[in-house]
Amino acid sequence: MGQITPDEVPAFPQYVIDYDEEAQTARLDGVPIEPAAGVSLREAALTAAARKADTHGLDAVRVTIRSNVGEEWKMIVSVHGETIDTTPPPESKNTHKTRRRTATVLGGVVLLMLVGGGTAVAVHLSTDTDQDQDTAPPWETPGANAQVPVGLPDGFTGPAAWSVDINDDTGVTGLDDGRILTANSDGILSARHPETAEPTWAGSGAPADLSEIHESTWAGAPVLASYSRGNLNLWPIEEVRPGDAVAPEQVPVDHTAELLWEGDAPLVSLGDFVVLVPDEAGTLTEVTIPAGSQPVSAVEGEAVSIGADAIYRTGLDGESTVTEFTPPGGVEGRPEMFWTIGTEALVLAWSGNGAADEPVIAVMDQDTGETIIKDRIERLPNESAEITYNTGSQRAVIGALAIRYDDDPSLNEVPVLEDPVLAGNTLYGNTTDGPAQVDFGRSQDGAETYPTFTDDDTAPLIVADDAAYVVAPRLDETILYRAPADVDEADDAETSENGDDDS
């Protein structure tokens, strides 16, 4: 093979070397690296990565090196031991994340110590270094102080902290770390800093609807993922230089398959108790789950499925561990419907055994099988109803069913809202009378509408502690606005949240 270049090396798999400089130990994807006599730890680590790449039929592979103190850098290793440093360049001063490198600091110069010799990677980061020529100019927050042209729910106010033009066809979504994901008319995804709207990551090939994008992992690395036309699309969430956009890696998947996203990796269900689980190298591996069980998710490299009285976790070797649970009294067989709350809990539903029997809902801890709450309810959610949840406040909503699964669990009926957004103890969404909010602590009050400017105003698409994000048309554009939280209202809401709550 000739000289390798980063463009020739696929984004996956990504190996991980955990390096403890003080103890002089290293692990490759969890497997200890044992240097032979006369071989340094760095040489052994390179050899181990190269050998593993060769077994996977690769000429070169991406490797993330992590220190025991949480530092990190990235590189490429070829089967011949060549290395390329792919750690992103130093960030501009206004970027909110701190770049990490596994390093030893010697007099203001950072020397990467794990790889060395003729293929050493040395990166100099001193205060005398010239600014990288690819560094973008300082970011200026766009559309600050713009008028927000839609009504806002209680607790939020204008003017906008920022506003940006987006592609109306794709929508907007929020990421777990608080960044806001948008797309433009060219199909470029942008993960924006919530306080400044500065793009900190970009990807090409945006799907038609951003709600189809899921945060997940693949080959041990964080990704954004979606499914379309027989392909699993995977965007590595790695820092990119200004102006660059990450193209998605595509993994072919049978077009009749069902994708389940609630685990820490995508689970592909093929039917007939056969699922595909990605292994540590990012290869979809066929796994047969116990007969009679329903696939739920992929967690820690295992397929989770649920039966009549047990939760199964089946590994890539086909072996299953069983966590039994006690179904509610009076029900028979496996749940007729279920919904997942991330990897925390399962909401199970039985319709009842006869005309006189009311449907039953049970919420189970997914790890222990413990029953968090169970009760008979008047009407089950529709089978096609989607679940909206907030793991921070431990609340969930399925249609008209509100679920509280913390230390004081409850099941309550709430008004049905379209395009629901759950933040803390409040549900936001749209009704035939306009945008509204429902306070879980006073769900009997119903959906409370709030003043709007036009009949076309809609509820926020994203609600966080410090801001609500709303979209409104302006002439031939569609604008996303960040409406800050009203300080006084936020203080009152926090006091109320910490007080009595009868939800």
pLDDT, average across residues 115-139: 41
pLDDT, tens digit, 9 for 90 and up, residues 164-194: 999 888 889 999 999 999 998 889 999 999 9
Give Cα separations from 91 to 16, 197, 240, 324, 499 (angstroms): 23, 16, 10, 50, 43
What is the pLDDT of the chain when averaged over all its residues?
Answer: 84
Query: By C-alpha distance, which of 128, 127, 238, 228 is closest to 187?
Result: 228
Percent of the chain with pLDDT over 70: 86
What is the spatial distance between Cα 293 and Cα 314, in angstroms, rounded to a whole number?
A: 11
Domain presence at residue 143: no
- Domain containing 71 equals 6-119
Instruction: Please check whether residue 93 lies inside any domain of the structure.
Output: yes
* pLDDT-based confidence at residue 39 (cuts at 50, 70, 90): confident
Which is higher by pLDDT, 316 or 97?
316
Task: Confirm whether 486 is domain-assigned.
Answer: no
Please report which confidence band the pLDDT of residue 373 belongs to, taking 50, 70 and 90 as the band edges.
very high
Q: Domain for residue 89, yes or no?
A: yes
Task: Say what the pLDDT of residue 353 is.
Answer: 63
- Reported as a single tens digit per residue, the pLDDT across 133-145 is 455 568 899 999 9
494 pLDDT higher than 90: no
Give the SS3 label for residue 465: coil
Average pLDDT over residues 204-231: 93
Per-residue pLDDT tens over the stretch 249-280: 999 999 889 999 999 999 999 999 999 999 99
Place of tokens 């004081």: 408
| Structure tokens that stand for 252 in this block | 């072919």
- Whether 28 has a pLDDT exceeding 90, the answer reads no
pLDDT at 162: 97
Cβ atoms of 130 and 90 closer than 8 Å = no
Distance CA 279, CA 271 (A): 20
Is residue 290's pLDDT more than 90? Answer: yes
The structural domain count of the chain equals: 1
Does the pLDDT value for residue 103 go beyond 70? Answer: no
Exposed / middle / buried, residue 371 (Cβ in 10 Å: 0-12, 13-18, 19+): middle
429-450 average pLDDT score: 90
| Integer CA distances (angstroms), 32 to 41, 63, 181, 183, 365, in order | 11, 16, 38, 42, 34
At residue 116, the pLDDT reads 39
The pLDDT value recorded for residue 43 is 84
Question: For residue 326, is pLDDT > 60?
Answer: yes
Q: Report how far residue 482's alpha carbon sits from residue 145's, in angstroms, rounded to the nearest whole number.
A: 10
| Whether pTM exceeds 0.85 | no
Question: Is residue 200 predicted with pLDDT exceeding 70?
Answer: yes
Relative to beta strand 214-218, strand 199-203 is: unpaired
pLDDT of residue 459: 97
Tens of pLDDT, residue by residue over 147-167, are 999 999 999 999 999 999 998
Q: Helix, strand, coil % (nearest 5) of the chain?
A: 10, 40, 50
Tally of residues, the chain: 503
66-80, 163-177, 275-289: least confidently modelled range: 66-80
For residue 9, the model assigns a pLDDT of: 86
Query: In whole angstroms, what is the distance from residue 390 CA to residue 342 CA?
Result: 9
